[in-house]
Every structure is written in structure tokens, then in C-alpha cells.
Structure 1
Amino acid sequence: MAIKAKSLFLLPIVIVMLLASSCTSVNTGSSSSKELVAPYLLALDELISTDTALNANMEYISLVLNGGVPLTKPDKQAIEKYLQDKYNLIIYNYTYEQLKEQKLYEQDTTMLKGILLTIEKQNQSDDQNKMTIEVSKYRANEGAIAIEIILAYQQGKWEIVGYGQMRQS
């Protein structure tokens, strides 16, 4: 009888501890998700602000992730919402070929009516607080840019600390 009473006394404590630990892991998960999305937002903002002539009169942004980019569907949706809210444009996930099929280009030229942003790849350094993200922006054959952006997590936030290779056409 005494063992049963002790078990009943410990049961609520164990339940409370389990609930508390599951709440903690949920909060940590959402925080780390925001930390994962933040460097991509910085890289895309930097890319969009580079060679602003490519942005003239754009009607949309199409965002494509190459394979191997470690973003979940909710991460990608957060990036799309950010771009839509900041630039007040329609966001597609069309490749160049799909944009052409949808006739989202100037009919008399091969220039897109918007910009195609591609997250080409992400390289995590041995230091978890540093990464390189390669992004590209395409508008036309003579209007494209690709940048390797080096980021570091410093003082509680991601910052651009340098640039690698840049290609323009």
C-alpha cells in the first residue's frame, strides 16, 4: 500500500516534468528555425539590392531552391512570405522553363517580367556560426548575377561578413 501511495505521488511530478521538457523543445525548435531562415533572407536581400537595374518594373519574384539546400517546407514558406511582404509582389516557385511556359516573359524578347532567384547551394563551415550561401538572380541572358555570400552568426544575429566569387552577365 505504501509503495502504491508513493507511485501515485510521483506520477504527477513525472507528468509535469515531461510536459515542461516538451514545451522547452518546441520553443527551441522554432527559435533555431528562425535562425536558419535568417541567413537566407540576408543573402536574398543582398542579391536583390545588387544590380537593381534587373529589378526595374518587375511583376513577380520566382524563388527556386536547388537540391541539397537544407530548408524545410515551413522555412521555405517563411522566406516566400517575407519576400511577398517586403516587395509586395507575387511569389512563384517556377524554374526558367516554367516561367517561359507560363508566358511570364516579354513576348518580343526573352526578358522575364520578373526576377528568378535561385538559392544554388549552402556550405556550412566547420564553425557552426559561419556559412556560405550562393544565390543567383536572372532577368535575361544579358541580365544575371550570382554571388557567394559569406555569413557569420555574431552577437545574436546573422551578418554578412564577406563575398566570394561573383559572376555577372
Structure 2
Amino acid sequence: MAFVFLISACANDTNTADTQNIHTEPYRVALEELISIDTALNANMEYISLVMNEAVPIEDSQREVIESYLQQKYNVPIYNYTHEQLIEQKLVEKDGTRLKGILLTMEKYKQSENKNEMTLEVSKYRANEGAIAMEMILAYQEGQWDITGYVTERES
């Protein structure tokens, strides 16, 4: 009887992990794409600060899954500091105009009429002369989330 219970418990854990992945995957995909664009901004980054505005419908547990993924992949601390907080925490270069890491922000979320499509406004910031913002369109196709297009809103 205990054996059956353990199998059931493991299956429930797997289902919970799968559910978490389904809900976090589009955000992870968008962040991966954002990080891969203009890789010069990532050079010698000492941290990633991830800010998700209230307009992005994500639970704390889902955000933690994404942060854990980023920490493991890039082997840097993950913060949730805004630009002003990064300056206050002295996480900037000596001249105070360039961050020692990158600031990733998810600014807006828009669900399409099709539940398998969404739009995210995201940005990556390192310095006034090193930033990019874009609107990404994501779609769930063939069992995975992919970026189907994006528009660069600003780049410096």
C-alpha cells in the first residue's frame, strides 16, 4: 500500500513540475531571446536583475522557477532590483552610469484571442548607451513556446 502511495506522490510532483513549466516557459523563452540579443551587453556581467511589472500575470512560485533557471544557466546572482535600487545597492561601475550586470524587465503582457499566443514587452539595460526594448510575439506550437516575431521599440 505504501508503494502505491509513493508512486502516486511522485506522479503528482511530476505533474506539478510540468504545470509550472507550462506557465513559466513563454517567459523563459522570451528572456533567453532577450539575453541572446546584443551579447556585448552581457560581457562580464556580475548579476542579472529581473523585474516583472504587475501587468505580467505570474505567480511568485513561477518567478522563482525562472530565476532558478537563469541562476543555474548563467552562474550569477539573480536580483529583483529596479534601476534605482541597483544604483542604491552600488551594483554599478565606478562612474555610476553602467551597471555591473544586466537589468531585464518584463513590462507588459497581452493575451491574444488565441490562448496559444501572447505578446510581451521586454527590455534589457546595461547603460544609457547599452539598452534594448522590444515587443515579442510568442506562440505555443508543436508542444513548445516559440518566438514568432518581434519589433524593436528602442535600441541604444
**Shorter-normalised TM range:** 0.7 to 0.9
Once the two structures are TM-superposed, the CA of residue 68 in structure 1 deviates from its matched residue by 1.6
**1:114 equivalent in structure 2:** 101
Residue pair 2:109, 2:119 contacting (<8 A) in 1 also? yes
Residue 138 of structure 1 pairs with residue 125 of structure 2: yes
Once the two structures are TM-superposed, the CA of residue 121 in structure 1 deviates from its matched residue by 1.2
Match of 1:74 among 50, 61, 68: 61
Residue 58 of structure 1: SS of its match in structure 2?
coil
> Which digits, 9 at most, give the CA deviation of each residue in 1:93-148, with x for residues without a partner?
11111100010001124100000000111111000000111110000111110111
Match of 1:43 among 21, 30, 34: 30
**2:111 equivalent in structure 1:** 124
**2:147 equivalent in structure 1:** 160
Please tell me the residue identity of whatever aligns with 1:155.
E
Alignment identity in percent? Answer: 60
**1:89 equivalent in structure 2:** 76
**1:61 equivalent in structure 2:** 48
* 4+ runs deviating over 2 angstroms: 24-33
> Which digits, 9 at most, give the CA deviation of each residue in 1:139-162, with x for residues without a partner?
011111011111111111111111
Please tell me the residue identity of whatever aligns with 1:92.
Y
Residue 99 of structure 1: SS of its match in structure 2?
helix
- Superposed CA RMSD in Å reads 1.9
Bigger helix fraction? 1
Once the two structures are TM-superposed, the CA of residue 35 in structure 1 deviates from its matched residue by 1.1
**1:103 equivalent in structure 2:** 90
Map 1:22-37 to 2 at 5 A.
30-37=17-24
Structure 1: 5+ residue stretches without partners: 1-19
Bigger Rg over Cα = 1
Please tell me the residue identity of whatever aligns with 1:31.
D
**In structure 1, how many angstroms separate the alpha carbons of the residues matched to 2:118 and 2:99?**
31
**In structure 2, how many angstroms separate the alpha carbons of the residues matched to 1:85 and 1:68?**
26
In the comparison of the two structures, how many residue pairs are matched?
148
